[in-house]
Amino acid sequence: MSDKTFGFETLSVHAGAAPDPATGARALPIYQTTAYVFEDADHAAALFNLQTVGFIYSRLTNPTNAALESRLATLEGGRGCTVASSGHAAQVLALFPLMGPGAEIVASSRLYGGSLQQMKNTYPKFGWAAAIVDADEPENFKRAVTENTKAFFIESLANPGGVVSDIEAIARIAEASGVPLLVDNTLATPYLCKPIDYGATLIVHSTTKFLSGTGTSMGGAVVDSGKFDWSRGAKFPSLAGPEPAYHGLNFYETFGDMAYTFHSHAVGLRDLGPSQAPFNAWLTMLGIETLGLRMERHCANAAKVAQHLEKHPAVAWVNYAGLASNKYNKLAKKYLPKGAGSVFTFGVKGGYDVGVKVVDGVELFSHLANIGDAKSLIIHPASTTHRQLSDEQRVSAGAGPDVLRLSIGIETVDDIIADLDQALAKATA
């Protein structure tokens, strides 16, 4: 494609892929191979020394994965991208170049329960620590910063509560603190929100969700803005110091605004090994082609469902940022002008027991632990995704005993509403 600026939908279809030069095939090939033949000994040496770009081994790089990486970087307005085997793998991969024993991150309390569990119980095994703060007050990040802080971590649109973070305000504090801001943009997708435009350094995705769109393909991604000075304050020696595995090469001096992405492939994927399967990357590329169309329907359906539930006699409250009554509505209009997403929570009168009965009573909805599918999904977080947390932590994360999480699909909206109505009626009979 030329340097012309194309629209989001055009880039969703074309960025990162072109007709195959060898065969003329219009669809992106699936390069289902482990390794690649070198031209000669000098070519092999140059690849291993990072003196030339190319393919060595599919744990590090793969042409199908590279196409997905190019497309995601383009859509997010980033400089480079690294795809991984899952969203959780992407989170570890994202932090790996920044952290070391004794390092800390400051993270929002409004995160997916699995992410909070990862930060509280798994990261300490690496010698990393996480300070969890209420992101509704950005100054909490500033108060939690120490000399060991290496990053901030938030979700643009939080799972499960639909909380919208004030990205720009938190980014300013991160910049003043000399650390990067990592934003999980899974629920919003780059169609609804582009955190890099508001100062984010790194974007994390579970591509398993809306980007893939059909519940078929596990994957994750880290997109680098290319705008952070990794040499600042000598806080990030992995990126701006000598790398022993490459004869003292300094990634930031050598690769500039591509330093983070090169490190993630040459060191992160090499040593941690969370590579995405090429077939999953291919399916995700296919899914992204319809991302804009799907997100329009997801958001339109979700808004109608939320408005209906807000008036339902069996419903105590609805937390959807697209509602005028919602405390995050103003932030949603700023950061999510095309729609407030399709994942939100609501509370049922009767608490835990009624919540369980609702998920047992749905017929069109699927009761499962996923979001971002074309199909409508439902779950009771307190008994599933957030059950590892304490009662207090669940409430703080927006997953109290009465909470149900919906991921509204692209079915006929009247059918979605009718299914919820009949399940609520049965649960409260």
What pLDDT score was predicted for residue 2? 54
Instruction: Average the pLDDT over 228-233 and give the result.
Output: 96
Q: What's the CA gap between 302 and 63, in Å, rounded? A: 36
Q: What are phi and psi of 111, to 5 degrees?
A: -125, 165
Q: What's the CA gap between 340 and 349, in Å, rounded? A: 25
What pLDDT score was predicted for residue 1? 55
What pLDDT score was predicted for residue 252? 98
Indicate whether 392 pLDDT > 90. no
What pLDDT score was predicted for residue 339? 97
What pLDDT score was predicted for residue 77? 98
CA distances for 126 relative to 61, 121, 244, 345, angstroms: 26, 10, 20, 33
Strands (E), 320-407: 343-348, 366-367, 377-379, 403-407
Which residues make Cβ contacts (< 8 Å) with residue 127, sequence separation at least 6?
100, 101, 102, 103
Instruction: Average the pLDDT over 395-417 and give the result.
Output: 91
| Chain mean position to CA 118 | 15
- Is residue 265 within 8 Å of residue 60, measured between CB atoms? yes
Q: What's the CA gap between 211 and 78, in Å, rounded? A: 16
Instruction: Average the pLDDT over 229-253 and give the result.
Output: 96
What pLDDT score was predicted for residue 258? 98
What pLDDT score was predicted for residue 383? 82
pLDDT band at 99 (very low <50, low <70, confident <90, very high): very high
Of 393 and 334, more confident: 334
Instruction: Average the pLDDT over 79-85 and give the result.
Output: 98
Written as six digits, the tokens of 259 are 């330093």
pLDDT tens column, 264-277 = 999 999 999 999 99
Out of 18-22, 70-74, 85-89, 151-155, pick the least confident.
18-22
Of 360 and 387, more confident: 360
pTM of the model: 0.95
CA gyration radius for the chain? 22
- Is residue 294 within 8 Å of residue 372, measured between CB atoms? no
All structural domains of the chain = 8-287 (3.40.640.10), 292-428 (3.90.1150.10)
Indicate whether 3 pLDDT > 80. no
pLDDT band at 391 (very low <50, low <70, confident <90, very high): confident
Q: What's the CA gap between 174 and 165, in Å, rounded? A: 14
Q: Among candidates 164, 159, 186, which has minimal Cα distance to 86? A: 186
Q: What's the CA gap between 116 and 49, in Å, rounded? A: 38
Task: Indicate the burial class of 278 (C-beta count within 10 angstroms; 0-12, 13-18, 19 or more).
Answer: buried
Q: What percent of the chain has pLDDT over 90?
A: 90
- Is residue 345 within 8 Å of residue 325, measured between CB atoms? no
pLDDT band at 23 (very low <50, low <70, confident <90, very high): very high
- Is residue 199 within 8 Å of residue 171, measured between CB atoms? yes
Out of 150-159, 210-219, 292-301, 395-404, pick the least confident.
395-404
pLDDT tens column, 114-169 = 899 899 999 999 999 999 999 999 999 999 999 999 999 999 999 877 899 999 99
Mean pLDDT score of the chain, rounded to an integer? 95
Q: Quick one: which H or E segment has residue 262? A: helix 259-263
Side-chain half-sphere CA neighbours of 185 within 13 A: 31
Instruction: Average the pLDDT over 58-84 and give the result.
Output: 98
Sign of the Cα torsion 61, 67, 68, 73 reads positive
Taken as a whole, the chain contains a residue count of: 429
Instruction: Average the pLDDT over 77-97 and give the result.
Output: 98
Task: Indicate the burial class of 352 (C-beta count within 10 angstroms; 0-12, 13-18, 19 or more).
Answer: middle
pLDDT tens column, 176-201 = 999 999 999 999 999 999 999 999 99
What pLDDT score was predicted for residue 112? 87
SS (H, E, C) 4-16: CCCCHHHHHHHCC
What pLDDT score was predicted for residue 91? 98
